Structure formats: C-alpha cells, structure tokens
C-alpha cells in the first residue's frame, strides 16, 4: 500500500541553524501539507501546496519557513533559523484530490528538537 | 473560526469495556468530520470519516455519527482491546477553512488487560 514517508525521523539542531525536513508524498497525489504538533498541544496546520505553489498558509508559517517540491517526488519544509519554540513533531500529508471529502494521508512525522 | 473540542484524557479502561470519546465542533459551513488515530511511535492514520449530517463512519469496530443538531461526532466502540491503546484525534475540514484539517487536542486511550 502506498504511503507517505518522512526523513529524518528525529532531527536535533542548535538554535539559529537551518533545517530541512523531507517528505515523499504518495506518487499520484497533487495536494501536499505540513502540520506540526508541539508536545502536549494540538496539531496545527502550517501550509498547503498545490501546482508548485503555496495555496494556503497559517500565521505560524512566517518568513522563516519555506516549502519546495524540488524534483517531482520530494516535498521539503525548510526552517531558516530555528528557534527553541520550533521544537515539535512535523507531519507531512498528501491527498490526490481537493480534500473536501478526501482523506489526507500522513507520514510518520519528524521530531525536531532545537537546543 | 472553526474549532474542535474533544474530551481530555487520558481515558483508562479495562479490556472489553465500552468506549466513548466525545467530540463537538464549531463551523460556519458544512464540514466533513474525521477521527484520526496515532499509535505509539507512528504517524496519524484516518480511522473513520463522515461527510454529511446523519452519516455514520465506521472502521475496526469504531463508529461515529455526524450529528448536526448537537454539532457532535462522538467516537464509540462496544468492546475495546489492548491494541486500541493510542491517541485519538477528532478533526474537521470545510470550505471556510480552505480544507485545512482543524484538530481537537487529542485523547489518549489506555486499555488495561
């Protein structure tokens, strides 16, 4: 069964460093998402991506964040200069069609720890 | 804006007990409603969904009915197993949220043998 994969599973970085979180969505999916979950808090939407551009982003997704689909298979989330409060679990998701009724398929997540 | 409220956990039950996890929502439109489950060390998996009022979603013995009159989507299972131990998330998406998933806080379920 096709699945969304994410690497690495755990990333530890120093405050101020750049990190890139990688995701490989399901191959025939067209809509891609990043969510994050700070420990003990709700899952929060960060950004959605369709047709090689951001279609929606939340207030969390400020200038420190960027997303890219560099090669038609990977979907990356870059944090330019990490802060302590960026420590969280980051989930990638994808869906084939406009997700009005359709399931978003999630990856296993990347745990980011900023020291 | 849209929001989801679900009962706080952890919920601790004995095996074969009846489970209810409450979920209520606030939405200006006509949302689709979802339950996702996160098993220890794993990602988020869709458990069940309902897309319109009075729909019942079901999977793996779990059920939830979309109740528009009470804006609820409570998760139920008649007889839980130890393997059901996980965190359960209620979520919605609709046009007003541009189909982003809006999540509840999650409820940790612990089933004791």
Dihedral, CA atoms, B4, A99, A41, B41, nearest 10 degrees?
A: 130
The stretch B36-41 carries a mean pLDDT of 88
Question: Residue B41: helix, strand or coil by DSSP?
Answer: coil
Please list every residue in chain A whose beta carbon sits closer than 8 Å to the beta carbon of residue B35. Answer: none
Q: What is the pLDDT of residue A100?
A: 60
Q: Render A55-87 in DSSP notation, one character per residue.
A: EEE-TT--TTEEEE--SSS-EEEEESS--GGG-
Please list every residue in chain B whose beta carbon sits closer than 8 Å to the beta carbon of residue A23. Answer: none
Cα–Cα distance for residue pair A28/A2, rounded to 1 Å: 10
Shortest CA distance to B34 belongs to which of B78, B77, B90, B112?
B90
Is residue A102 scored above 80 in pLDDT?
Answer: no
Q: What is the pLDDT of residue A70?
A: 86
Q: What is the pLDDT of residue A89?
A: 95
Q: What is the pLDDT of residue B1?
A: 82
Residue percentage of chain B with pLDDT more than 70 = 100
Cα–Cα distance for residue pair A93/A25, rounded to 1 Å: 7
Which tops the pLDDT comparison, B112 or A98?
B112
Whether A55 contacts chain B with CB within 8 A: yes
Q: What is the pLDDT of residue B30?
A: 84
Is residue B28 scored above 70 in pLDDT?
Answer: yes
Is residue A101 scored above 70 in pLDDT?
Answer: no
Instruction: Place A9 in a pLDDT band, splitting at 50, 70 and 90.
Output: very high
Of A98, A104, A109, the CB nearest to B101: A104
Instruction: Place B9 in a pLDDT band, splitting at 50, 70 and 90.
Output: confident
Cβ <8 Å between B98 and A104: no
Q: What is the pLDDT of residue A99?
A: 60
pLDDT tens digits for range A30-89: 899 999 999 888 899 999 999 899 999 999 999 999 999 988 789 999 999 999 999 999
Give the mean pLDDT of chain B: 92
């Amino acid at each position: 069964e096709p699945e969304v994969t994410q690497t690495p599973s755990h990333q530890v970085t120093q405050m101020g460093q750049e990190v890139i979180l990688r995701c490989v969505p399901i191959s025939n999916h067209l809509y891609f998402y990043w969510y994050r979950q700070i420990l003990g808090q709700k899952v929060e939407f960060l950004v959605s991506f369709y047709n090689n551009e951001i279609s929606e982003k939340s207030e969390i997704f400020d200038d420190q964040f960027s997303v890219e689909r560099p090669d038609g298979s990977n979907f990356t989330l870059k944090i330019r200069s990490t802060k302590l409060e960026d420590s969280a679990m980051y989930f990638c998701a994808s869906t084939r069609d406009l997700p009005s009724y359709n399931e978003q398929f999630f990856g296993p997540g990347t745990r980011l720890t900023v020291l | 804006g849209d929001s989801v409220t679900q009962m706080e956990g952890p919920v601790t039950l004995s095996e074969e007990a009846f489970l209810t996890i409450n979920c209520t929502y606030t939405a200006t439109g006509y949302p689709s409603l979802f339950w996702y489950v996160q098993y220890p060390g794993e990602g988020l998996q869709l458990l069940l969904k309902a897309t319109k009022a009075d729909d019942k979603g079901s999977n793996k013995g779990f059920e939830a009915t979309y109740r528009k009159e009470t804006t609820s989507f409570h998760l139920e299972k008649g007889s839980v197993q130890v393997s059901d131990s996980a965190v359960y998330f209620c979520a919605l998406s609709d046009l007003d949220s541009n189909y982003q998933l809006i999540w509840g806080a999650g409820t940790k379920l612990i089933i004791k043998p």
